[in-house]
């Protein structure tokens, strides 16, 4: 059984820790699925080390809120309430997945949970939240839309166009930059002269802050403040500083990073930090170990679930691509067979 968390000023920390631990455990199993050769596609990107950004910001969101993610978005979707079995099935390219196995790791979406879509294009999901924010304002439903992206996207012009439009129209939007210090193999201070990324947003008139991702409570507090402001018509930008524990993608062994730097960076572990804080406030290591064991068992089961599922049938190739009322295109294989049958 999941142990009770201490009450009082740190009562939220237990829930934040549990969600971060679920994200960490899930991502470890995603890596295992890849090593087994049972993930769909040739690439996937882990967010280990960045859990506080996903969990802290999602803790500030309400059910009606929407969001987009980048290609490193598994943890964000899980923090938002996604079913880990369906997520893993999608990563495995199986019919039981959120997009029936056709989205894979980098293109998971689910409108029911407000997920407007992950995007493998750097910065590609950012402008969608401007449209979602405009829609929310016209509908008056009190929704906020959040764009999650990495520091590499701060080199994309679409971010600045989106921030300008959101500020100009006073849209309920939060731009959340998860700054893991690397854009693929390039360290951020080799790519930009001013690494205080939130200062760029200030120039557009947005409320903007940077927060240390080591402390999930600090992230949640900053996110709550900025999300509440966005809900009232003041769009915002939040940069969460963290460290990407592993390479850009699962195949990347990060030869561009010094081992000493990686060792130091991995000391900035938000999961370990939250666990230590919980022990300081009265939880026992044994109680946390029991909860961690439950979580690991839950995530182990996602692999078994995924392996047991079937791949999407060929007949579903055009499902969700064309409107239901449109006739489906004739597959090339069928067209060739039809032509050859006439000869």
* pLDDT 10s digits, 196-237: 999 999 999 999 999 999 999 999 999 999 999 999 999 999
Q: What is the pLDDT of residues 25-53, one digit of tens each?
A: 999 999 999 999 999 987 889 999 999 99
Which of 3.40.50.300, 3.30.70.20, 3.30.530.20, 3.40.50.970 would CATH assign to domain 11-342?
Answer: 3.40.50.970
Predicted local confidence at residue 42, as pLDDT: 74
CB of 97 closer than 8 Å to CB of 87: yes
Alpha carbon of 109 to those of 18, 141, 223: distances in Å?
23, 21, 23
Predicted local confidence at residue 10, as pLDDT: 47
Predicted local confidence at residue 4, as pLDDT: 53
Predicted local confidence at residue 257, as pLDDT: 92
Q: What is the pLDDT of residues 1-10, one digit of tens each?
A: 455 554 444 4
Highest mean pLDDT among 207-211, 256-260, 314-318, 338-342: 207-211
pLDDT at 320 over 90: no
* pTM for this entry: 0.91
Predicted local confidence at residue 3, as pLDDT: 54
Predicted local confidence at residue 314, as pLDDT: 85
Q: What is the pLDDT of residues 55-69, one digit of tens each?
A: 999 999 999 999 999
For residue 297 the two structure tokens come to 């068992």
Q: Which of 180, 181, 173 is nearest to 207 (CA)?
A: 173
229-248 per-residue burial string, b: 16 or more CB within 10 A, e: under 16: bbbeebbbbbbbbbbbbbbb
List strand residue ranges (DSSP E) for 132-193, in order.
145-150, 173-179, 182-183, 186-187
Predicted local confidence at residue 9, as pLDDT: 43
- In whole angstroms, give the CA distance from residue 133 to residue 232: 12
CA 67 from centroid of its chain's CA atoms: 9
Q: What is the pLDDT of residues 174-185, one digit of tens each?
A: 999 999 999 998
Share of the chain above pLDDT 90, in %: 83
Confidence of residue 11 (pLDDT cuts 50, 70, 90): low
**Mind giving me the DSSP string for 12-36?**
HHHHHHHHHHHHHHHHHHHHHHHHT
Confidence of residue 250 (pLDDT cuts 50, 70, 90): confident
Mean pLDDT, the chain, whole residue set: 93
Predicted local confidence at residue 330, as pLDDT: 83
The residues with which 178 forms a beta bridge, in sequence order, are: 150, 240
CB of 279 closer than 8 Å to CB of 291: no
Q: What residues does each domain of the chain span?
A: 11-342
3-state secondary structure of 179: strand
Predicted local confidence at residue 168, as pLDDT: 98
pLDDT at 91 over 90: yes
Selected residue with higher pLDDT from 331 and 49: 49
Q: What is the pLDDT of residues 144-194, one digit of tens each?
A: 999 999 999 999 999 999 999 999 999 999 999 999 999 998 899 999 999
Predicted local confidence at residue 327, as pLDDT: 86
pLDDT at 20 over 60: yes
Q: Which of 111, 108, 133 is nearest to 119 (CA)?
A: 108
- In whole angstroms, give the CA distance from residue 274 to residue 52: 10
- In whole angstroms, give the CA distance from residue 185 to residue 197: 19
Please give the helix or strand (H or E) that residue 216 lies within, else none: helix 216-231
């Amino acid at each position: 059984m999941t142990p009770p968390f201490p009450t009082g000023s740190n009562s939220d920390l237990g829930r934040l820790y549990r969600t971060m631990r679920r994200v960490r455990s899930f991502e470890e199993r995603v890596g295992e699925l890849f090593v087994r050769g049972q993930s769909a596609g040739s690439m996937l990107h882990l967010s280990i080390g960045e859990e506080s950004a996903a969990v802290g910001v999602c803790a500030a969101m309400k059910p009606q809120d929407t969001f987009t993610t980048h290609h490193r978005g598994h943890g964000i979707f899980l923090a938002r309430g996604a079913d880990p079995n369906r997520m893993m099935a999608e990563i495995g390219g199986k019919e039981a997945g959120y997009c029936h196995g056709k989205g894979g790791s980098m293109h998971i979406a689910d409108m029911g949970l407000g997920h407007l879509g992950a995007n493998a294009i750097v910065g590609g999901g950012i402008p969608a939240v401007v449209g979602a924010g405009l829609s929310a304002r016209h509908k008056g439903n009190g929704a906020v839309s959040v764009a999650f992206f990495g520091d590499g996207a701060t080199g994309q012009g679409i971010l600045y166009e989106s921030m300008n439009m959101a500020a100009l129209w006073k849209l309920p939007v939060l731009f959340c930059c998860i700054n893991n210090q690397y854009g693929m193999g390039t360290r951020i201070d080799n790519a930009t002269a001013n690494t205080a990324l939130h200062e760029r947003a200030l120039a557009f008139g947005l409320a903007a802050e940077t927060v240390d991702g080591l402390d999930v409570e600090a992230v949640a507090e900053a996110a709550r403040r900025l999300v509440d402001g966005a809900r009232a018509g003041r769009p915002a930008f939040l940069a969460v500083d963290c460290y990407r524990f592993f390479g850009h993608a699962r195949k990347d062994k990060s030869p561009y990073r010094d081992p000493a730097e990686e060792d130091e960076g991995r000391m900035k572990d938000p999961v370990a930090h939250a666990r230590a804080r919980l022990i300081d406030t009265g939880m026992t290591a044994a109680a946390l170990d029991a909860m961690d064991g439950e979580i690991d068992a839950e995530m182990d089961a996602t692999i078994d679930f995924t392996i047991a599922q079937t791949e999407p049938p060929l007949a579903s190739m055009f499902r969700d691509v064309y409107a239901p009322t449109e006739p489906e295109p004739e597959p090339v294989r069928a067209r060739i067979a039809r032509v050859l049958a006439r000869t």
